[in-house]
Structure 1
Amino acid sequence: MLRTQFEEDLQNLHTQFSTMAQEVSDAVYKSVKAFIKHDKEIAYNVIENDVKINELEVQLEKKSLEMIALQQPVTTDLRIIITVMKASSDLERMGDHAVSIAKSTIRVKGNERILEVEEKISDMADAVKIMVDSVKDAYINGDLEQAKAIAQSDTKVNDYFNEIYDMCIKEMKENPETVVGGTDYLQVAGFLERIGDYVTNICEWIVYLKTGKILELNSNRDDLIS
């Protein structure tokens, strides 16, 4: 009977994590859409909804600690709970970066636009959103190989950042009126790159879940910062 309750609690953790991952994916998509379209209403919506993402993380952490204290799980069961706690913390930080992108939208006031850069940022955001959605599936299915493949795809996100950086620097040198807007573009691209890094982090927790080993899956990335 106790085991059945424990398994039910684990399933609830998985469901909550999946819900949180979907909320974060939506936040990333909407924040970039708001930035590209200069839509402050969508931006405010992303900021307001971050409360829900934070609450989901608190609930997951609280339930995880409760299960560890009361059930005293070992081996695989303990790894599952640790993975949920660590991965949900990464999701919460991803949500924070989506909020930062939304705040960039609200700050922007008629700056000189660089349409080619905006298009590239949109493509970068699409690549990041695919990573976020895929890592949710990899987690739910406990798919080790998919997790490794997602981590490798972060290289593409880093390449987008480098392209955007080069484009912005070139434009800012040639047209000083684009300096303020170009700086915003670089910030947003930086936030997206960080989100990709946190997805890679979750991939590493999936590997830990399945193998008990903590591996660095993408050695090219920078050290993570909150």
Structure 2
Amino acid sequence: MDITRDVHSQHISRQFNQELEALKTHLMTMGGLVEKQLKEAIIALAEGDSKLAAYVRDNDEAVNALQLQLDNECTRILARRQPAASDLRLVLAVIRATSDLERIGDEASKIARNAITLSESNEAVRGLIEVRHISDHVRHMLRDALTAFARFDTQLAVSVVREDELVDNEYSSAMRSLVTFMVEDPRSLSSVLNVMWILRALERVGDHADNLAEHVVYLVKGMDIRHSDADTLEQVNDENA
């Protein structure tokens, strides 16, 4: 059964309604924090701002705390309310989503650590154009995935899933370019390796944004689209028509 934005307001228990709404609100809060971390990690890299990078690195604990809070809220709802149908899917989707958001926070922290290393090396950094391009792409995916979750929008979620393949292609192209550059100039080995780690972190952010979008489809449609082909994704869109 599909769910809509209003389905969770139909419970007799006002307290249960509030608990479900709090889950969604707290998940969006966590998503907003992770978005901010990722944005600031990229700014720190581009501007050589080691102070901002250190702030992003150290602020990872705030994301971890929100994950623990949401996990506890979900556990309480499962134990006390024994939710079924769409309510159960909401709780499970939130549990899965918080795990992906926490890992995106970890990737932002990795970017920040590498940004510090690069800023301290005082070397010219190769690959920043590729980093900026892919970071814009995956940040857009993350924003759309969170919007899809907030709106129960499976059409937007499917568009995020489709974007992940494009990010993978961009990542592969950027890595080939950097490998070629290292071969031509072995002195750049250290800095290029740091940029490669940053690109890898961004590619993983795209994977986790893809996961978030898949959780939306599961939540709304009850469909597991992990490892699905193009026809299955098209079926989700057809059902929205």
Tell me if both proteins adopt one fold, taking TM over 0.5 as the criterion.
yes
Asked if the contact 1:152/1:218 (under 8 Å) is kept, the reply is: no
Give the drift of 1:122.
0.7
Alignment-derived partner of residue 224 in structure 1: none
Paired residues of 1:204 and 1:217 also in contact (CA < 8 A): no
Contact 2:138–2:202 at 8 Å: present in 1 too? yes
Aligned to 1:41: 51
Cα deviation digits, residues 185-221 of structure 1 (max 9, x gap): 111000000010011111111111112221126779x
For 2:228 and 2:116, the matched residues in 1 are separated by 33
- 1:77 has 2:87 as partner: yes
Residues 1-226 of structure 1: pairs in structure 2 closer than 5 A: 3-108=13-118, 109-110=120-121, 112-115=123-126, 117-216=127-226
Indicate the SS of the match to 1:18: helix
Q: State the distance in 1 between where 2:153 and 2:111 align.
A: 31
Q: TM-score, normalised by structure 2?
A: 0.86
CA contact (8 A) 2:54 2:112 kept: yes
Deviation at 1:110, TM superposition (A): 2.4
Contact 2:67 2:98 in 1 (8 A): yes
Aligned in 2, Cα 1:2/1:55: closer, same or farther, shift over 3 Å? farther
Deviation at residue 111 of structure 1 after TM alignment? 5.5
Task: Quote the Cα distance in structure 2 between the aligned partners of 1:93 and 1:22.
Answer: 14
Give the deviation of 1:178 after TM superposition.
Answer: 1.1
> Is this contact kept in 1: 2:164–2:210, CA < 8 A?
yes
Q: Distance in 2 between matches of 1:144 and 1:177?
A: 48
Amino acid at match of 2:161: A
Could you tell me which residue of structure 2 aligns to residue 223 of structure 1? none
How far apart, CA to CA, are the structure 2 residues paired with 1:159 and 1:196?
12
- Asked if the contact 2:44/2:112 (under 8 Å) is kept, the reply is yes
Question: Which string of whole-angstrom CA distances, capped at 9 and with x for unpartnered residues, describes residues 126-177 of structure 1?
Answer: 1111111111100000111110101111122112211210111111111111
Structure 1 moving runs of 4+ over 4 Å: 217-220
**TM-score, normalised with respect to structure 1:** 0.92
Q: Which structure 1 residue ranges, 5 or more long, are not aligned?
A: 221-226
Q: Is the 8 A contact 2:146 2:212 kept in 1?
A: no
Contact 1:151 1:217 in 2 (8 A): no
Larger radius of gyration: 2
CA contact (8 A) 1:152 1:217 kept: no
**Structure 2 residues not aligned, in runs of 5+:** 1-10, 231-241
